[in-house]
Structure 1
Amino acid sequence: MKAAIVLQDLETLDFSRLETHFEECLRDLSFDDAGELDVILMDEFESSAYLDTILGKLYSSAREVFLNKGLYLTSINVLFGKCAVSSLDLDWLYVPKESLKKHFNHRNYKVFEQPVIQGYSYSGENYLADVNKYKVSALGGTFDHIHDGHKILLSVAAFLTSSKLIIGITDEELLLKKKYKEFLEPFDKRADNVKRFLSLLKPALTAQIVPIKDVCGPTGTVPDIECLVVSRETISGGEFVNKTRLAKGLSKLDISVVNVLGGNEEDGWKEKLSSTELRKILMDVKNRS
Structure 2
Amino acid sequence: MVEESSRVLVVLPYILPGATLQTIIRRTIPFLREWQSQLDVVVVPEFKTSFQLDSALGKMYSIIRDVLLGYDMINTGINIIFNNKHFLKSNLQWKMGLLPQRSTFETWQLELDAKQCRTIEHYAVHGDSAEEIVGPKDADKFPVTALGGTFDHIHDGHKILLSVSTFITSQRLICGITCDELLQNKKYKELIEPYETRCSHVSQFIELLKPNLLVELVPLKDVCGPTGKVPEIECLVVSRETIGGAETVNKTRIGKGMNPLTVHVVNVLGGREEDGWSEKLSSTEIRRLYQASHSSN
TM-score class, shorter: over 0.9
| Stretch of structure 1 that moved more, 60-69 or 106-115 | 106-115
8 Å contact kept, 1:7–1:114: no
Q: Which amino acid aligns with 2:291?
A: M
Distance 2:269 2:17 in 1: 20
Q: Does 1:185 align with 2:193?
A: yes
Count of residues paired in the alignment? 283
3-state DSSP class of the match of 1:31?
helix
- The 3-state SS of whatever aligns with 2:170 is strand
For residues 127 and 243 of structure 2, the distance between their equivalents in structure 1, rounded to whole angstroms, comes to: 36
SS at match of 2:79: strand
Q: Residues 46 and 130 of structure 1 are in contact (CA less than 8 Å); yes or no, is this contact kept in structure 2?
A: yes
Aligned residue in 1 for 2:100: 96
Contact 1:14 1:115 in 2 (8 A): no
* 2:250 corresponding residue in structure 1: 242
- Higher alpha-carbon deviation: 74-83 or 158-167: 74-83
Calculate percent identity across the aligned residue pairs. 46
Ranges in structure 1 where 5+ consecutive residues have no aligned partner: none
1:3 corresponding residue in structure 2: 8
1:86 Cα shift? 2.0
> 2:132 aligned to 123, 127, 137, which one?
123
Q: How much has 1:116 moved relative to structure 2?
A: 4.3
Cα separation, 1, equivalents of 2:73 and 2:236? 33
Unaligned runs of 5+ residues in structure 2 are: 1-5
Q: For structure 1, which segment, 34-43 or 95-104, has the greater mean C-alpha deviation from structure 2 after superposition?
A: 95-104
Aligned amino acid, residue 89 of structure 2: S
| Alpha-carbon offset, residue 69 of structure 1 | 0.7
Deviation at 1:117, TM superposition (A): 3.3
Q: Alpha-carbon deviation of 1:14?
A: 1.9
Q: Which moved more, 1:109-118 or 1:231-240?
A: 109-118
Q: Distance in 1 between matches of 2:34 and 2:177?
A: 28
How far is 1:111 from its partner? 1.1
Partner of 2:262: 254
Instruction: Decide whether the 8 Å contact of 1:145 with 1:185 is kept in 2.
Output: yes
Distance 1:17 1:84, change over 3 A: closer
Deviations 1:34-70 (A, max 9, x none): 4200110111111001000010111001000111111
Contact kept, 8 Å, 1:33 with 1:71, in 2: the verdict is no
Q: 1:46 aligns with which of 38, 41, 48?
A: 48
1:18 positional shift: 1.4
TM norm structure 1 = 0.94
Normalising by structure 2, we get a TM-score of: 0.91
> Distance in 2 between the 1:37 and 1:208 partners?
26
81-90 or 251-260: bigger deviation? 81-90
CA shift for structure 1 position 239: 1.1
* Matched residue SS, 1:263: coil
Q: Cα RMSD over matched residues?
A: 1.6
